Structure 1
Amino acid sequence: MIIDAWAQHPTLKHIQDPIFESLRRWTKTPAPTEEVPVELTVALMDQAKVDKSLISAWVAPRNVMISNDEVASFVAQAPDRLVGVGSVDISKPMQAVKEIRRCVNELGFKAIRVLPWLWELPPTDRRFYPVFTACADLGVPFCTQIGHTGPLMPSEPGRPLYLDQVALDFPELTIVGGHIGYPWTEEAIAVATKHENVYIDTSAYTANRYPEELVKFMKGHGRHKVLFGTNYPMITPAQCLKDLDQLGLDEDVLGLFLAGNAKRVFNL
């Protein structure tokens, strides 16, 4: 079984946003001009034998790129394959808390994701704390980005070490840091090792680009701590998995990485 811990089914508003323009020099592909059908996302999952993908909303300051209701509509089209992850506006704390409750209790979402780089604020900022409280109270993971930012935005808010303070303040909160944490991967590993409820996902990286220290962590005491992710549509599932067999992961580690850890963390 394979579970993708970080994906998006993109809307045109999301995929055409100017903030991602700098990434197109790497993909060398123009942004789509028509809405992407859910069937295409599922077909690309099938191509790589991915059973489920957690697809996320994108809420940025004054700009909702993918709304929670849009995510719910995508999940409704493929309920056995797609799992909803919500997002909120951290500048409106009471509204954010109410929306998290709606996402979990009414829409059936399994996590909440907020990206510090979009807000140019570290996750220790007071505006995040109502979100942490609501997630901990509802028993759903808080997902975020760690590491440098691909878009031309400040990378400092993605330092994994910020999550150390969050985990100290909210030991009941499950935290999943996506995008490996590079170039601070050792920081990410240290925080995940220190805190029982802190995890790392490999989204935005193909298997042949996983840092050596992360692979060593996965094979050793971090076997229960790392989740497979793609960051689709930036990278397709097939691209992410292409060189996985070169990492030398044994069957137990592979099962945990590809699905077991995500099933446990997201209560799937």
Structure 2
Amino acid sequence: MAMPTDIKIIDCMLGIPEAEDRSDWFAAFRPLIRDEQTLKQFSMPAQYMFKDIPQAGGVDDFVKWTVEQMDRFNVERALVGWNASATSYRAKEKHGNRFFFDLPCDPNKGMEEVRRIKRIHAEVGLSAISIFPAGTFPQIPINHKYMFPLYACAEELGLPVLLNVGIPGPRIPMEAQKVEHLDEICWFFPNLKIVMRHGAEPWEALAVKLMLKWPNLYYSTSAFAPKHYPKAIIDFANTRGAEKIIYAGYFPMGLSLERIFGDMVNVPFKDEVWPKFLRENAINVFNLK
């Protein structure tokens, strides 16, 4: 049951810093934040939940630095958010074999956003789109009508949708991310692959029930140190859900790779689960073949 050391890992949530200042992480939902501690003291929106947040002080080339960190921990490829910056283009041009991209999307923008998805997919070759329902402004629930054009676009393009689910880390309301909202979307879009992000807590048992029910619903472990993976998720991976649980980290947004892989050795996955969790499920869901 020990974590194997010979698997080339695919990380389905990793970031490439744009600068040492990370205030841009707040930009989309800053109007929702009301508490002074978050606004005046935090360097990342959910800082109260994390300790020893990785820093990249004195780095001249953040792309090179990120690849070096990946190499240290046998991470062959990583899914990162595309933001059309110089950093994104450099990552694709210099290390296109190491990175694949999701596009963070805003359902409030309607068909303008649909056109943007299609344009960037044609240019870059996206592997997914991503939506932070509680972090949109105004907030848009998972099953709200404004979401449907994005879901339809993703299905048309053959792209999975990454959705934050469960209570959000930042101090903003949770209603938009209730796991129960997924049931309607999976029913209406049976061919759309949906990957849950950020835990689904405190509804992780419901997340398991929905994955049993819907063939194209998956779960990634993003933003959780392995010691905090929900027991319901580990049990599901070890029984009927080995093809449904995908490794995703949170480096450097909140967790170091040292912390992630230092904890990972103690996760009680069965031997046959590890290759699927660390690599094979990502290849299947994100069409990396």
Same fold (TM over 0.5): yes
Query: 1:55-93, CA deviations, whole angstroms, 9 ceiling, x for partnerless residues?
Result: 014xxxxxxxx4477534422231111111112332222
The 3-state SS of whatever aligns with 1:54 is strand
Matched with 1:116 is: 133
Question: Aligned Cα RMSD in Å?
Answer: 2.3
Give 1:106's aligned residue: 123
1:144 counterpart SS class: strand
Aligned residue number for residue 243 of structure 1: 263
Letter in 1 for 2:113: A
Q: In 1, distance between residues paired with 2:134 and 2:149?
A: 18
Q: Report if aligned partners of 2:134, 2:177 keep a CA contact under 8 Å in 1.
A: yes
Deviation at 1:31, TM superposition (A): 7.0
Could you tell me how far apart the structure 1 residues matched to 2:66 and 2:125 are? 20
Q: Is the 8 A contact 1:50 1:237 kept in 2?
A: no
1:28: how far off?
Answer: 5.0
1:82 aligns with 2:99: yes
Displacement after TM superposition at 1:13 (Å): 9.3
The amino acid that maps onto 2:78 is S
Match of 2:46 in 1: 23
Deviation, 1:154, is 1.2
Unaligned runs of 5+ in 2: 1-7, 31-37
1:248 is paired with a residue of what secondary structure?
Answer: coil
Q: Of the candidates 184, 190, 195, which is equivalent to residue 176 of structure 1?
A: 195
How many positions carry a matched residue from both structures? 260
Offset at 1:52? 0.5
1 or 2 for the larger relative contact order (CA 8 Å, sep ≥6)? 2
Give per-residue Cα distances to partners, 1:150-186, cap 9 Å, x unaligned.
1111122222211111111111110001112122111
Amino acid at match of 1:244: M
Q: Is the 8 A contact 1:71 1:84 kept in 2?
A: no
Worse-superposed segment, 106-115 or 8-17: 8-17
CA contact (8 A) 2:17 2:62 kept: no
- Report the TM-score when normalising by structure 2: 0.82
In structure 2, the partner of 1:7 is: 14
Secondary structure of the residue that 1:260 maps to in structure 2?
Answer: helix
Distance 1:73 1:128, change over 3 A: farther
The answer (yes or no) to whether the contact 1:15–1:31 under 8 Å persists in 2 is: no
Q: CA deviation at 1:231?
A: 1.9
1:44 Cα deviation (Å)?
1.3
User: What secondary structure, in the 3-state scheme, does the structure 1 residue paired with 2:13 have?
Assistant: strand
Q: Identity, % of aligned pairs?
A: 26
| Structure possessing the higher radius of gyration over alpha carbons | 2
**Cα contact 2:18–2:62 (8 A) shared by 1:** no
Q: Deviations over 1:22-75 (max 9, x none)?
A: 533433559767776111111111121111100014xxxxxxxx4477534422
State the alpha-carbon separation in 1 of the partners of residues 77 and 18 from structure 2: 19
Q: Distance in 1 between matches of 2:14 and 2:284?
A: 18
Structure-2 residue corresponding to 1:220: 239
